[in-house]
Amino acid sequence: MTKIKTCIVGASGYIGGEAVRLLLGHPNIDLIAVTGNESAGKRLDEIQPNLRGYSDLVYQKEIPEADVYMLSLPHGEAQNVVPRLKGKVVDLSGDFRLQDTAKFEKYYKAPHKEPELLKKFAYGIPEINRGRIKEAQYCAAGGCFASAAILSLWPLRELAAGRAIVDGKTGSSGSGIKPGEKTHHPFRATSFFGYEMFHHRHTPEIEQASGVEVLFQPHSTPLVRGVFTTSYVPLKKEMTSDELLEVFRKAYPGERFVRLSKGTTNVNNVKGSNFIDLGVAAEGKTAIVFAAIDNLVKGGAGQGVQCLNVMFGLPEEAGLLTPPAQP
């Protein structure tokens, strides 16, 4: 089989680096280029030293022709790049996730530059939108918090009796590679705090894809990798934990990257992997759903690779079956 010529646009950060790591081990991918404005001219392993010995690629500024482009750019920049790309596109930013341009402007604080192109993007969580992704030229991979929350709530979209509360926790890598006041080690290492009350940009993304109204509150934790969400869902009828687990089993039959259990989950069990661990509990008319993902993989580059596989008719697990690391 001819390998798919792939270019990663914006491969200098954490998620871009994860995309490189995953695609270098993908049996069907020929990674022909990595780009980065500030990194142009530098070897890949100068910027991503964990990849020393895996590739001789050098960062370039210009974007070459390719069969597919994986974009890992700061929010707002993909809108400037996508219109001039001729191949398929998997965007890992939030630029093309929201179909409602008014909500995009409200939550991203800027009007969308490409509203017509926005309509052509499939939302990228294969477990709930595989058919649309398969036919799409453009795909917007789901965000980190959003992916955990959506996969927690989607099976309950017909059972939810009202607004769900989603409590989210994230590690520092979710803030990106550039240091800031709140990612500085002395501040972050032993700290735990909430932010973006009522107005986090993943709120409309969660509601759009899950079909459940939510109150979403994120928190920063003294972790590096990992997103953990706890969703509290009012139900239309009483359920037991066993009954709730069966609802989830029917919603995700045979899904390679969804692991289900009763009770809670743990981010340590998914680090470095594309798995989402979902744990469920129910009492009376209340359901609790725990979700653990690696924010850089199932919440980032791994989700993008999974979408790429669907778009090209490849085995969905291609390049993604590395087991989680312990400890």
Rounded to an integer, the average pLDDT of 304-327 is: 95
Q: How far apart are CA 204 and CA 219, in angstroms?
A: 18
Q: What percent of the chain has pLDDT over 90?
A: 88
The CATH classification number of 145-293 equals 3.30.360.10
Burial of 197 (0-12, 13-18, 19+ CB in 10 A): exposed
Question: Is this structure's pTM higher than 0.75?
Answer: yes
In angstroms, the CA 266 to CA 74 distance is: 29
Instruction: Evaluate if residue 173 carries a pLDDT over 80.
Output: no
How far from 134 is each of 121, 138, 227, 314, CA to CA, in Å?
A: 11, 10, 27, 10
Any idea which of 61-65, 95-99, 181-185, 323-327 has the lowest mean pLDDT? 181-185
Q: Over 80: is that where the pLDDT of 180 sits? A: no
CB 267 within 8 A of CB 228: yes
Catalytic residue among 7, 139, 144, 307: 144
Cis before 327 (ω within 30): yes
Helices and strands (H, E) in the chain, number of each type: 11, 13
Beta sheet of 214-220, edge-to-edge order: 193-194, 214-220, 164-170, 227-234, 286-293, 276-283, 258-262
Pick the CATH number of 4-141+300-311 from 3.40.50.1980, 3.30.470.20, 3.30.479.10, 3.40.50.720: 3.40.50.720
The DSSP result for 187-209, as a single string, is: HHTT--EE-STTT-THHHHHHHH
Per-residue pLDDT of 65-108, as tens digits, reads 999 999 999 989 999 999 999 999 999 999 999 999 999 999 99
pLDDT, one tens digit per residue, over 198-214 is 999 999 999 999 999 99
| pLDDT tens, residue by residue, 150-162 | 999 999 999 999 9
Q: What's the pLDDT score for residue 178? A: 66
Which helix (H) or strand (E) element contains residue 143? Answer: none
What is the mean predicted confidence (pLDDT) over 131-137? Answer: 98
The answer to whether 4-141+300-311 and 145-293 have equal CATH topology is no
CA triple 144-70-177, angle to 5 deg: 55
Other C-beta atoms closer than 10 Å to the C-beta of 279 total 22
Residue among 28, 34, 42 nearest 15 (CA): 34
Q: What is the mean pLDDT of the chain?
A: 95
Dig out the tokens for 173 from the structure. 């890598």
Question: How confident is the model at residue 189, as a pLDDT?
Answer: 73
Q: Is 307 a catalytic residue?
A: no
Residue 93 pLDDT: 96
**Boundaries of every domain in the chain:** 4-141+300-311, 145-293
pLDDT of residue 179: 64
